[in-house]
Amino acid sequence: MISKELLKSCKLCPRKCGAERFAGKLGFCRAGAEIKIARADLHMWEEPPISGTNGSGTVFFSGCNLQCCFCQNHVISAEGKGFVLTAKELADTFLMLQDRGAHNINLVTAATYVPQIIEALDIAGDKLNIPIVYNSGGYENIETLEMLRGYVDIFLPDLKYYSGELSSDYSGASDYFGCASRSLIKMHELVGSPKFDENGIMKRGVIVRHLVLPSCRHDSAKIIGWLADNFTPNEILISLMSQYTPMYKAKDIEALSRRTSTFEYEYVCRLVEGCGFDGFFQQRSAAEDKYVPEFFDKKYY
């Protein structure tokens, strides 16, 4: 079985740590051999063509191959909160969300569970007929992304940093930009340019997210410049986020201990507009912890 072979010595993400997950060994992401999620529900706070009017059928997976010091979801990404599902139960979860009217199935931080997710999607089969969204921190392996060919319709990756120093200090990944930039090119190859239905709901394509961090506007400028050099405005959408709020370990880091200023955010907005990209600009009111969903350690649905 493909998942068993890959999890014997895990190299699903760029860390390629070789964790023997079926032997109970955990790597950097803290994911074991079993599927572990912390929430499955309709989510209204994604970009408009993802959430639409009914909501995105969002599944939050436990563990993460990045350990961002400012992570809003640190109780699941770093602290392991969640509950275990079988592949069949995950498939049933996807179908439950579809039955509730979800516009799509939104897989959040799923890199370390790709083989099990593919198994669940195969179990659901033709009964699942809404787009699959891969919602990612951007730190991906090209080989793992290739496994998703024909399964994922929409990629929703972050492009967090250009600077290796920043990515090392804040997310423990000095090679972040190299991996994430290659991954973005691969994602676009897999699904192509954005496509929408008659109601404006996204059916295919890539939305690149970038969170503007305090004191990092010049790093943001380099990211926008790289996107402009590698994609035409009709090939991707950009979602520029202003929701940064000092949380988790960031409260104790001076440079991150404040919200992003209006000046910093608008500076990056003007760069995106100047490059001709279409996309989404977030209201400043989004920078509140009330938008962090509730997570669970027991199955609740």
165 lies in some domain = yes
For residue 112, the enclosing domain spans 35-291
Closest CA to 144 of 116, 167, 111: 111
8 lies in some domain = no
15 lies in some domain = no
9 lies in some domain = no
Residue 289, pLDDT > 90, answer no
6 lies in some domain = no
Residue 3, pLDDT > 70, answer no
296 lies in some domain = no
**In the chain, what percentage of residues exceed pLDDT 90?**
93
pTM to 2 decimal places? 0.96
Binding residues for [4Fe-4S] cluster: 64, 68, 71
Binding residues: 64, 68, 71
b/e string for 150-164 if b means 16 or more Cβ within 10 A? Answer: eebbbbbbbbbbbbe
- CATH code at position 67: 3.20.20.70
Q: Per residue, what are the HEC states of 129-154?
A: CCCEEEEECCCCCHHHHHHCCCCCCE
Which residue do the tokens 């023997």 mark? 20
286 lies in some domain = yes
- pLDDT band per the 50, 70, 90 thresholds, residue 287: very low
282 lies in some domain = yes
**In the chain, what percentage of residues exceed pLDDT 70?**
96
Structurally, the chain folds into a number of domains equal to 1
The C-alpha atoms of residue 107 and residue 133 are separated, in whole angstroms, by 6
